[in-house]
Structure 1
Amino acid sequence: MKALQLFLLAVLTVVATGLETSQGRANDSKEGLGIVHYQPEQVHLAFGERTASEMVVTWSTRSLPPDLQVGMTTIVEYGLLEASGQSKLSQTARGTATKFVDGGRKKATQFIHRVTLRNLKPNSTYVYHCGSSYGWSSVFQFRTVPEASADWSPSLAIYGDMGNENAQSLARLQEETQRGMYDAIIHVGDFAYDMDTSNAAVGDAYMRQIESVAAYVPYMVCPGNHEEKYNFSNYRARFNMPGDTDSLWYSFNLGPVHFVSFSTEVYYFLGYGFKLLTKQFEWLEQDLAEANLPENRAKRPWIVTYGHRPMYCSDEKEYDCNKQLETYIRQGLPMLKWFGLEDLFYKHGVDVEIFAHEHFYTRLWPIYDFKVYNGSAEAPYTNPKAPIQIITGSAGCKEEREPFSKDLPEWNAYHSNDYGYTRLKAHNGTHLYFEQVSDDKDGQIVDSFWVIKDSHGSYPEVQ
């Protein structure tokens, strides 16, 4: 009888293992028999520490495949795309899997996998998939950028405030990404609305939605106010930007541009601690001072920053959007005036500052301390005497559009609350080109302008 029982147990074990592999079913140690998922989902890319030769692949699984114990769980298989259009996934890279528990009532659990692909050939196309013998993702591809070169012209799509409901711009962005129009995407805060909603199910749905963009080009991000819940835990767990600051602030180089990402939220959610604010400000001082050294500006002339909440805006918010109340990031903390960024960015010659948060698009004249500093009346963006700010928060979300003020400020150069997004083409060290795409108008360009600079560096002191 005991032999028969052992035989039946063995048969049941084989059957159960087969079900786990093909259908993702297994025992849940807390809830008895449950459904688990080993299939990778929410695949997305980011630049690594070395922009031209490293790519970070991140994805999620509902459960941790059993082969983690033998070091085979977190795997990316990849290879160069050959001239014939064929490719062998002949290389393997391994990384880490981290358990993420959402802070909601159900304590929803998933595993975030991260693998860095190193020693990639610059300016080359790779194909890849990720997972394990228990389940693989689809096969995607990406193209690396040229080696540390300021002589090529990267193209980016830039926007903020896109949710999984009413993600109006997403279909057009997906199509354009598949056509190879972009070298990277920058999402300037506020994702999903919100990632923690429904025990993080909304965050999962959003990350699956953007896979058809983010699995093909680096998806570079910064946090917004809608990521705040549970100390920004969904944002910090799901994204893997360069550096070691949980993706809260970092920088990277792309062609002739030094991009700097930062968190505006460290000014507003001080309940999570004052230290993040001071650490970010110290880091920004150091990063911008280094980027502004003459030898570095000669190699990479443009400095472009992006953070979620704007310094200036053209609507009548009840907080931080008018001259009387000031903005914390512009002027510094209330009363103390500590850690203000407008002076810091002006001092180190930041060329363009990109924001979101307001659900519209606004192009400002070159501005410092509420004063316009155009290059000239005929060519305001040619050799401007202050940074140029852009607000691009109209990608589409369930909160819908925001109205402009009845009386627009004098520094408002152009505005639109069409749903859409911004494109940036960095042509060379002297010319940047921006245009605003209206999804409401079937992809029409509703605004465009050139920023032209003969030289780069700190702006002159203003009396």
Structure 2
Amino acid sequence: MRSLPLLPVALCLASAPALAAPSAVKLSWASADAATTMAMSWVTPTDLPSTIEYGVQSTSEHMLTGPAAALIDGIGWFHELELSGLMPNTTYRYRVGSAGDWSPEYTFKTAPNDGCTPFAFVSLGDARSQDSRGPSLNWSSIHTEAEAAGAEFFLNGGDLVREGNDIAQWAQWLQDSEMVNPRRPMMPAMGNHDDGPGDGNSANYNRLFVLPTNPVTGTEDYYSFVYNNVVVFSLSTQTFEDWTAQMQWLTNVAAQHPDKWKIAFFHHPVYTTQTALFGISVGHGPNEKGQNAFYAPAFDAAGIDIVVQSHNHIYERFLPLRFDPNDLDNGQQVAQYGNGPGEGRLYVVSGGSGAFLDPLIEGQFQDFGVGSTVRSKDHHFIRIAVAGNTLHYQAIRTNAGNTSGGGTVIDDLTLARPGQDPCIQPGDPDMDMDGYPASIDCNDQVFDINPGATEICGNAIDENCDGTAEPCPPPPVDMDGDGSPAGTDCDDTNPNRYPEHPEVECDGIDNDCDCRADTNGDGIFCGPGDANVDESPEACGLGSACSSIAVSCLGDECVCRDQ
């Protein structure tokens, strides 16, 4: 059993935290009500009480101690607690831990529940690496960029890691997400790479996330929650393939919220373009799990507004689609988006938050799915801003992972409910119909300028009404021209060293930037614990360079993992 905490690693350097300081602090919701609850989880290296101190003005206002932590080998002692009875639309200060070993002080904000307060959230998916690291080296930067776009919370369409049954990969994901997870709730859906070693509550995914449960399976594999005037459904295409029961549950929950926007997200697409090269399929096809005959008609009946899918490492949006019983792989294109009779769903594939990308989606000779209208091979995230009866949808290219730079908008459209918006008061008009009345809109003549808009850098326009027109950051530096910018390249002076480069045996070089090199060709790779790369690892004690993720510990000795 490993007894060390997660160690922050910057490329191949590591340092040890305080003896029992909490790490991997993460926010989520464990109940459907996002306005009055918040769940936290964290890790400690030893068995300590699970305590949260929190308040509006000070963390000393309230304290809650919860159940004992659970030991997860390769992670540490895992703590989880849910706060309830909170005030809606309120920012709280908090810290977790126990006397003498507290986390830093963080903040979280509960959801509004008036149906009118504007807010925004981000959806993304497929952040996994191509190797045993787990998350992509691009993930942390993309996560941070997406938070800066004004996300109140995150939806994640799955494939957070490469191999879900490898706990070390989850440890790396927790570590790489620690810049944002303590401030913004993360609500995932399980991808095919996330599953294991068992199903349901025995899977690493379920053990490490604190999420609502559903009454059908009693697990967190699929669930729903309400954030102001939006109902979000996280579905499971990876486990519990009783599609009829899952869709009956969705239909029942949707019927309880007839006037709210409805978003469904999950991993395996209902509709997508399957890319091919010289007639050989490369991407994943539609209806891969046989879910379409159940999902698509249920989405139509329940009035789901937006369906966000992942799995393919692309961006693709479709024109309004409804279920076509005569063609399960393609929807029937209709005139407009909406949840009324005969109106169609907004289906999108979004798998660009760090994993390798599929450039074929931008090719001219692909057999595109019915209604496929906007496509991109770039890393990206989706930002959805809601203001009463108006929903503003954007796909935004990231700086991380894109050599052409980021911040630009790939796709942009607005959905609007018909009729009078109940959030617009008489005498306070909304002239540009962007969901923000004149009293709070800094420019009520231009649709794309309002407090919820995405700031576009370098155009001298203050889109989000914060009083500043943002300049663009400099483009990412790629000195060696290998396609991996300096921020993700472990050696930007050597074109033969970058994260996706195949490891070359026996050359003594860490070609793929995973902090391991086979220096003598014996198949043993030395990791961060072997600081001088002589295949003779240093001691395992606190303060050493030994990482519990990349090497094993035997007593007080570090042992290179034999690949």
Q: TM-score normalised to the size of structure 2?
A: 0.61
**Aligned counterparts of 2:271 and 2:378: Cα–Cα separation in 1:** 19
- How far the C-alpha of 1:170 sits from its partner, in A, is 3.4
**Aligned counterparts of 2:246 and 2:285: Cα–Cα separation in 1:** 28
Paired residue for 1:76, among 52, 60, 69?
A: 52
**Aligned counterparts of 2:169 and 2:91: Cα–Cα separation in 1:** 32
Conserved 8 A contact 2:54-2:60: yes
Q: Which residue identity is paired with 1:236?
A: N
Paired residue for 1:183, among 142, 152, 156?
A: 152
Confirm whether residue 394 of structure 1 aligns to residue 370 of structure 2: no
Could you give the per-residue CA deviations for residues 160-210 of structure 1, whole angstroms, max 9, x where no partner exists? 011355343532542553x5812111111111323443xx22211211211
**Structure 1 segment 54-73 matched on structure 2, within 5 A:** 54-65=37-48, 73=49
Name the residue aligned to 1:282. 245
**Structure 1 segment 445-460 matched on structure 2, within 5 A:** 445-454=409-418
Paired residue for 2:375, among 402, 405, 415?
A: 415
Could you give the per-residue CA deviations for residues 297-321 of structure 1, whole angstroms, max 9, x where no partner exists? 13x2x21111111112112375995
**Aligned counterparts of 1:77 and 1:350: Cα–Cα separation in 2:** 38
**Aligned counterparts of 1:228 and 1:382: Cα–Cα separation in 2:** 33
Name the residue aligned to 1:160. 125
Name the residue aligned to 2:453. none
Match of 1:236, SS state, is helix
Conserved 8 A contact 1:154-1:254: no
- How far the C-alpha of 1:98 sits from its partner, in A, is 4.2
Name the residue aligned to 1:222. 189
Could you give the per-residue CA deviations for residues 199-254 of structure 1, whole angstroms, max 9, x where no partner exists? x2221121121122111011111111011221251100000112364421110111
- How far the C-alpha of 1:42 sits from its partner, in A, is 1.0
Paired residue for 1:328, among 276, 286, 289?
A: 289
- How far the C-alpha of 1:286 sits from its partner, in A, is 3.0
Could you give the per-residue CA deviations for residues 244-281 of structure 1, whole angstroms, max 9, x where no partner exists? 64421110111221111111102xxxxxxxxx333x74
Name the residue aligned to 1:45. 27
Conserved 8 A contact 2:50-2:97: yes
Inter-CA distance 152–329: structure 2 relative to 1 (3 Å threshold): farther
Conserved 8 A contact 1:253-1:259: yes
**Aligned counterparts of 1:225 and 1:78: Cα–Cα separation in 2:** 37
Name the residue aligned to 1:121. 87
Conserved 8 A contact 2:268-2:289: no
Name the residue aligned to 1:443. 407
Inter-CA distance 124–218: structure 2 relative to 1 (3 Å threshold): same
Structure 1: runs of 5 or more not aligned: 1-19, 25-34, 66-72, 82-86, 103-107, 267-275, 333-339, 456-463
Name the residue aligned to 1:135. 101
**Aligned counterparts of 1:291 and 1:382: Cα–Cα separation in 2:** 12
Conserved 8 A contact 1:362-1:391: yes
Conserved 8 A contact 1:320-1:327: no
Confirm whether residue 360 of structure 1 aligns to residue 314 of structure 2: yes
**Aligned counterparts of 2:192 and 2:71: Cα–Cα separation in 1:** 21
**Aligned counterparts of 2:19 and 2:288: Cα–Cα separation in 1:** 45
**Aligned counterparts of 1:373 and 1:359: Cα–Cα separation in 2:** 24
- How far the C-alpha of 1:419 sits from its partner, in A, is 0.7
Conserved 8 A contact 1:320-1:328: no
**Aligned counterparts of 2:283 and 2:251: Cα–Cα separation in 1:** 25
Match of 2:41, SS state, is strand
- How far the C-alpha of 1:416 sits from its partner, in A, is 0.3
Conserved 8 A contact 1:222-1:247: no
Inter-CA distance 306–288: structure 2 relative to 1 (3 Å threshold): same
Paired residue for 2:223, among 250, 254, 269?
A: 250
Q: Which residue identity is paired with 1:438?
A: R
Match of 2:197, SS state, is helix
Match of 2:241, SS state, is helix
Conserved 8 A contact 1:79-1:89: yes
**Aligned counterparts of 1:222 and 1:98: Cα–Cα separation in 2:** 24
Q: Which residue identity is paired with 2:116?
A: D
Match of 1:229, SS state, is coil
**Aligned counterparts of 1:449 and 1:372: Cα–Cα separation in 2:** 20
Match of 1:282, SS state, is helix
Inter-CA distance 229–290: structure 2 relative to 1 (3 Å threshold): closer
Aligned pairs, number: 375
Q: Which residue identity is paired with 2:228?
A: G
**What percent identity do the matched residue pairs reach?**
20
Match of 2:312, SS state, is coil
- How far the C-alpha of 1:75 sits from its partner, in A, is 0.4
Q: TM-score normalised to the size of structure 1?
A: 0.74
**Structure 1 segment 96-111 matched on structure 2, within 5 A:** 96-101=67-72, 108=74, 110-111=76-77
What RMSD over aligned residues (CA atoms) do the two structures have, in Å? Answer: 2.9
Paired residue for 1:312, among 267, 271, 294?
A: 271
Structure 2: runs of 5 or more not aligned: 6-16, 129-133, 325-329, 420-563
Inter-CA distance 165–330: structure 2 relative to 1 (3 Å threshold): closer
Conserved 8 A contact 1:38-1:64: no
**Aligned counterparts of 1:89 and 1:211: Cα–Cα separation in 2:** 24
**Aligned counterparts of 1:410 and 1:277: Cα–Cα separation in 2:** 26
